């Protein structure tokens, strides 16, 4: 079913919204504006403005890790988050927001504690997962909330 549709994917480098045919997701699609890879098996460091655009426009699931350098559990979870990003690519994208640098994120997303993962898809927040989690749990969380339309 996915084969017939295309995805709207916000470039996490320049925030341009690109249209990518679903069958091209695995073919390393690039941003038409800046040439950055749109779908990569790694975690992108983004700011709140980019997330606002992506959370509104993107049809591909986007999981965001809200973290800070002073947060021990956040640092401990980072490699697990990267592992999950690799496991789920190209069916979901992973990003992180440093809440110490981007202080506006905490208020906008009502963040009371970190690490906090928020899953976005089709213009809305789908689900949240709090606390440090192993890769398998992060992966299962994304799958459980996206498989209906995957």
Binding residues for Zn ion, per CB under 5 A? 11, 13-14, 16, 31, 33-34, 36
- Identity of the residue, 31 or 84, whose beta carbon is nearer to Zn ion in the bound complex: 31
Taking the C-alpha atoms of residue 90 and residue 61, their distance in angstroms, rounded to an integer, is: 10
In this complex, which beta carbon is closest to Zn ion, that of residue 35 or of residue 123? 35
The residue behind tokens 């549709």 is 5
Of 50, 53, 7, 45, the closest CA to residue 26 belongs to 7
- Which of these is catalytic: 11, 14, 31, 71? 71
- Minimal distance in Å, beta carbon 13 to Zn ion? 5
Whether 31 is catalytic is no
14 labelled catalytic: no
Which residue reads 């040439």 in tokens? 35
- With the C-alpha atoms ordered 11, 18, 140, 63, is the resulting torsion angle positive or negative? positive
* HSE (side-chain half, CA atoms, 13 Å) at 121: 20
CB of 11 to Zn ion, least distance (A): 3
Query: Quick one: 16 or 89, whose CB is closer to Zn ion?
Result: 16
CB of 14 to Zn ion, least distance (A): 3
Catalytic residues: 71, 74
């Amino acid at each position: 079913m996915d084969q017939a549709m295309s995805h709207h994917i916000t470039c996490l480098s320049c925030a341009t919204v690109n249209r990518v045919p679903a069958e091209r997701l695995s073919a390393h699609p690039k941003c038409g504006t800046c040439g950055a890879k749109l779908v990569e098996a790694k975690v992108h460091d983004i700011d709140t403005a980019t997330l606002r655009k992506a959370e509104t426009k993107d049809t591909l699931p986007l999981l965001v890790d809200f973290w800070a350098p002073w947060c021990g559990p956040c640092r401990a979870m980072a490699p697990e988050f990267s592992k999950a990003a690799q496991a789920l690519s190209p069916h979901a994208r992973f990003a992180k927001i440093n809440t110490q640098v981007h202080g506006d994120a905490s208020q906008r997303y009502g963040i009371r504690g970190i690490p906090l993962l928020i899953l976005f898809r089709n213009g809305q927040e789908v689900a949240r997962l709090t606390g440090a989690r192993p890769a398998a749990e992060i992966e299962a969380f994304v799958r459980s909330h996206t498989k209906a339309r995957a």
